[in-house]
């Protein structure tokens, strides 16, 4: 038996060496491969996001300039190019409403006064002092760049935007949730040289 014991030990240890050798040979994706896979998923995601053209979302909005800050809640109903956005103060009182079509937008104030303009961005800046990019947010809130406008972006491993630079804005995507089988943003921070906007989406319907 003593003559066979060393050989028996070598036989029993062989599977361990095989496992270690196979583990050493396992292919680990390179950074370039991971970037290529994220880019592939991003290409596949964009048409799905573009089909989301109607929604009902609500949440909180924080705006900060060098001198002032506001915290409000919002409700945003979108039906293709028709939209209705309600802005409310901390105690829930309606502060303003935006009603828009492809032809223009009307701002309804709490005191009953109404003002119209060609774009919501222009209207909010003039009447409330808020240079909020509502037109860009139509795309950015879905995690999409505005089509045709120059941009640079970064992606996570699942092909979702983590940052976007477009139209003078730095946009950071801080959270996503799954709604209707599609991953959509739940927290977005927008910043330019005039104002910082933090938008939280409580849910997508």
Q: Taking the model in full, what pTM does it have?
A: 0.83
Query: Does residue 173 register a pLDDT over 60?
Result: yes
According to the model, what pLDDT value does residue 26 have? 54
Give the lowest-confidence range in 15-19, 36-40, 59-63, 86-90.
Answer: 15-19
Task: Delimit the domains of the chain by residue range.
Answer: 34-95+131-204
Check residue 148 and give left, alpha or beta (phi > 0: left; psi -120 to 50: alpha).
left
Confidence of residue 129 (pLDDT cuts 50, 70, 90): confident
d(CA 150, CA 164): 11
According to the model, what pLDDT value does residue 95 have? 85
3-state secondary structure of 90: coil
Contact 195, 132 (CB under 8 A): yes
CATH of domain 34-95+131-204: 2.50.20.10
According to the model, what pLDDT value does residue 25 have? 53
d(CA 199, CA 174): 10
Query: Does residue 23 register a pLDDT over 70?
Result: no
């Amino acid at each position: 038996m003593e003559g066979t014991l060393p050989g028996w030990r070598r036989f029993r240890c062989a599977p361990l060496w095989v496992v270690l050798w196979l583990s050493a040979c396992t292919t680990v994706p390179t950074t370039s491969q991971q970037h290529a896979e994220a880019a592939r998923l991003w290409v596949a995601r964009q048409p799905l996001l573009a089909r989301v053209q109607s929604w009902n979302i609500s949440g909180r909005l924080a705006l900060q300039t060098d001198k002032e800050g506001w915290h409000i809640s919002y409700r945003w109903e979108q039906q293709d190019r028709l939209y209705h956005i309600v802005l409310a103060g901390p105690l829930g009182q309606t502060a303003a409403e935006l009603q828009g079509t492809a032809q223009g937008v009307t701002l309804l104030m709490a005191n009953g006064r109404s003002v119209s303009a060609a774009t919501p961005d222009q209207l909010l800046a003039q009447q409330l002092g808020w240079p909020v990019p509502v037109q860009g947010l139509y795309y950015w809130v879905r995690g999409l760049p505005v089509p045709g406008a120059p941009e640079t972006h970064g992606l996570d491993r699942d092909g979702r935007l983590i940052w976007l630079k477009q139209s003078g804005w730095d946009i950071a995507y801080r959270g996503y949730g799954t709604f209707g089988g599609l991953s959509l943003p739940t927290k977005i921070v927008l910043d330019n040289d005039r104002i910082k906007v933090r938008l939280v989406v409580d849910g997508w319907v």
